[in-house]
Amino acid sequence: MAYSDKVLDHYNNPRNVGSFDKKDPNVGTGMVGAPECGDVMKLQVKVNPATGIIEDAKFKTFGCGSAIASSSLATEWLRGKTVDEALAIKNTDIVNELSLPPVKIHCSVLAEDAIKAAIDDYKKKSENVGVESKAHA
């Protein structure tokens, strides 16, 4: 299969690879997919609690090049957005930006799911400030 230039670019120079401390109350972690399915995405957001703005985002992905590119792109888009703006990111936006073919749409769905899971995790944590949050894994 031929990859689009944008997929190749993200694959060759993935943005924002890495991990934050899951226990940091300002960090939301989303982990979606399963090894048996051939794809696992971990996406993390670091939110400024005063402004509700995502100041930083990081990812690690086990999956095909399109899955890596989708999550790399997602971290770029997340930075600077508010939590609610982040929830508005749709997998179809990723499909369009990366020109993903139909067989790779599920890789973008995974990225959208990872965003939602990360934000969800952050929101849960901020609702229970002070309470030790459950490790997400």
Sites for another protein among residues 26-85 (CB under 8 A): 31-42, 60-65, 67-68
User: With binding defined as CB under 8 A, does residue 105 bind another protein?
Assistant: no
Instruction: Report d(CA 42, CA 19) in Å as an integer.
Output: 9
Please report, for residues 23, 52, 130, 131, the alpha-carbon distance to residue 81 in angstroms, rounded to integers and kept in the order given: 22, 9, 25, 26
- Strand, coil or helix: 88: coil
User: With binding defined as CB under 6 A, does residue 98 bind ligand FES?
Assistant: no
Tell me, yes or no, if 107 is annotated catalytic: yes
29 token code pair: 């972690």
As a whole number of angstroms, the longest Cα–Cα distance in the chain is 50
Residues assigned a catalytic role = 37, 107
Binding site for another protein (CB under 8 A): 3, 11, 14, 17, 19, 31-42, 60-65, 67-68, 103, 106, 109-110, 113, 117, 137
Binding site for ligand FES (CB under 6 A): 38-39, 63-64, 66-67, 104, 107
